[in-house]
Structure 1
Amino acid sequence: MRSAPDGSVVEQDVVFFGRPDPGALLTGSVRPLGSTLERITEYHDQTGHLVAEVFVREAPTAATGTDSVAALADFAARRYGSASLRRFRGRCTATSAGADLNCSVTVLATYEKDHESVADVALVATDPTGVVTARAWATYAIDDVATLAS
């Protein structure tokens, strides 16, 4: 997650429309929205197919704790595998300033979408004092509901 010069990322929403081939070169194009603090980046593969779209909202101040959302994304990728990720949305709620974060996950729902089994999960990052520093919501393709609890 990269921040623009005028602020730090406080919210991002990543939607994957298809999995690119391993080693595929992706091209990103940025489209500003209404202000310099909001933008959408679209990623296309070599054939021009839209692979992913990333919405980013930034705060006008620099200390928001984007590392908390990155920690949640890393936690979820290690737990469920990055190849199964279909959507990820994160919000910073407090500054974490390099603190050791505790990440937890709750399964919200499992269902069928586009001919595959998926699960919606909620993720929470807390600092050592228990303050919530970030929240995220993700959708993953799953092979077996039992793997969600592990």
Structure 2
Amino acid sequence: MRAIRSRVQSISEGQQRYRDIYGTSESAPAGSTCTSGLKVISVVGTGGLGKTTLVRKVYDDAAVRLGFSTHVWVTVSNSFKLHDLLRTMIRRLAVDVNKQPPHGLEAMDADEMKEFVHKFLRNRTYIIVLDDIWSLTAWEAIRYAFPEAE
């Protein structure tokens, strides 16, 4: 019982760290928009529910795509490696704007790659899907690459 209670408390505390996150049990408030700042939408649940399929339908929707200048889909997976994730994201960002990845990408450390992503996304509207992210640790490691409103 203690283990379950501890786990529930841990999950509850984790959820309170973020604002403007809408899960499967509640929807975004009427009239909410993504006009400024970083907005994160988490879709969570057990395997096989169709989360990826649902998010893919939204991501691929023509009306949704018109609202963003940059569109990137990255699969994270359980074997999360920060350097690999950032390199993949940078490559996909480059492809999205019909450019080559930056010279020296392979030699960049994680902080340099986060800074590159941050500068690339600044002053852009973007939708980036991090599919199959398994842990809060993975999100915490990558979140600072995404700019807040400036």
User: When the two structures are superposed, what TM-score results if normalisation uses the length of structure 2?
Assistant: 0.24
Greater relative contact order (Cα < 8 A, sep 6+): 2
